[in-house]
Amino acid sequence: MVDFTTRTRYRPATELVYVDNPDGKGPKDNYNAASMPIYQTATFKQTSSTQTGEYDYSRSGNPTRSHVENHLAKIMSAKRAFAVNSGMTALDVITRLIKTGEEVIAGNDLYGGTNRLLSFLATHNNVKTHHINTTNSEAIIPYLSEKTRLVLLETPTNPMMKIADIPRISEIVHEQCPNALVVVDNTMMSPYLQRPLELGADIVYDSGTKYLSGHHDLMAGVVGVKDDAIGDKIYFTINATGVGLGPFDCWLLMRGVKTLAVRMDRQQANAIKIADFLQAHKFKVHYPGLKTHPQYELHAKMSSGPGAVLSFETGDTELSEKIVELTRLWGISVSFGCVNSLISIPAEVRAARAMPEDLIRLCVGIEDVDDLLEDLYHALTASGALKLAN
């Protein structure tokens, strides 16, 4: 039996829900509210004319934000965590660690917003980015130098589901470039399924808009670090630029995090059945939960599940467009991670990232999987895709 009097950590699903303030850390609530109060205020009154209390101005800190940041640090296995106003803001804050003339090494299958920011850094700050195939860990070696500041990974990538070996790449980087930082965009997995800081990464960030909040009613980003000095630099930028997440949005994010496990378990279970269905009908499916995925075993070593995003190819671009438009339950929308199932053709990034023209992305929700399968089957048959595939 487990001795609960000395236990400090629980299983991930429990940690998401269980909120505590170990060693007295975090804001205090005099009334012991079951839900953290929303401190919807810009300023805080002080009791002294010469000294300030823990909070003075919400740009610099707010009890509601502190509450969710302490909780995020715990579930991300981070020394410190920070909540900002979008996922791209999270990356922007991280890139402020780069000085002019330094370099970034990143994947060649990145989120479009990430590429936009890296391109801006190249043209405005003289920060060069080397794009490599991060599925091959050794491919990073020729690009490492004293100029390397960040190594930016996405795993799995979206929507091609390519996997990077976080432990091996982190090992290589730390051995050859001690001053470089390994940064992982963990949005596709969330801290429930994958914790990159435990795998060797230095910084992890998520778009809180996706799985962490889970309802597409919030824009947020989170950053987790395992070094206090890096944390101080991240906080300095957040405070200086005023991008900390607002009190009400912090409260929404906290509420979403508490239900992450039940949502992700359902979404992932649905995604596995849908991937199996599509593969059984001879479509080419990209999903790390399938044993046919070339990096199935690597992903399984790093994560506790394959997630709820997958993509497949139909063999014909016009056919793919028909399928997307014939679905009813699957909403045509960008983004992912909410309770509703979404379908899209990533047209805006296909050419830039050399992706198949006929690629369809599915972001699986919590609906009854039989309804999702029936709706997808109707679209596939009405469009003629199943005949073409078979």
Q: Is 371 helix (H, G, I), strand (E, B) or coil?
A: helix
- Choose the catalytic residue: 39, 55, 111, 287: 111
Strands 221-225 and 203-207: antiparallel
Q: Is the dihedral of CA 130, 136, 137, 138 positive or negative?
A: negative
The values of phi and psi at residue 309, to 5°, are: -120, 135
Would you call 210 a catalytic residue per the annotation? yes
> Could you give the CA distance from residue 317 to residue 319 in angstroms, rounded to a whole number?
5
Q: Which of 92, 109, 165, 185 is catalytic?
A: 185
Catalytic residue status for 111: yes
Active site residue 232: no
Is 369:274 a contact under the CB 8 Å cutoff?
yes
* Residue 221 bridge partners (DSSP): 84, 207
User: CA 58, 212, 115: angle at the middle one, nearest 5?
Assistant: 85
Helices (H), the chain: 12-17, 63-76, 87-95, 112-125, 166-176, 190-193, 228-241, 247-258, 260-280, 296-302, 317-326, 347-350, 369-383, 385-389
Task: Give the integer Cα–Cα distance in Å for 349 and 346.
Answer: 6
User: Would you state the torsion angle of the CA atoms of residues 85, 87, 89, 93, taken in this order, to the nearest 10 degrees?
Assistant: 120
Catalytic residue among 29, 57, 59, 233: 59
The catalytic position among 80, 162, 195, 210 is 210
185 as an active site residue: the answer is yes
Write the DSSP assignment of 132-191 as a string of letters. Answer: E-TTSGGGGGGG--TTEEEEEEESS-TTT-----HHHHHHHHHHH-TT-EEEEE-TTTHH
In the block, tokens 């009190």 appear at: 247
| CA nearest neighbour of 205 among 108, 97, 279, 299 | 97
**Cα–Cα distance, 90 to 234 (Å, whole number):** 9
Which helix (H) or strand (E) segment holds residue 309: the answer is strand 309-313
φ, ψ dihedrals at 134, nearest 5°:
-75, 0
Question: What positions carry a catalytic annotation?
Answer: 59, 111, 185, 210
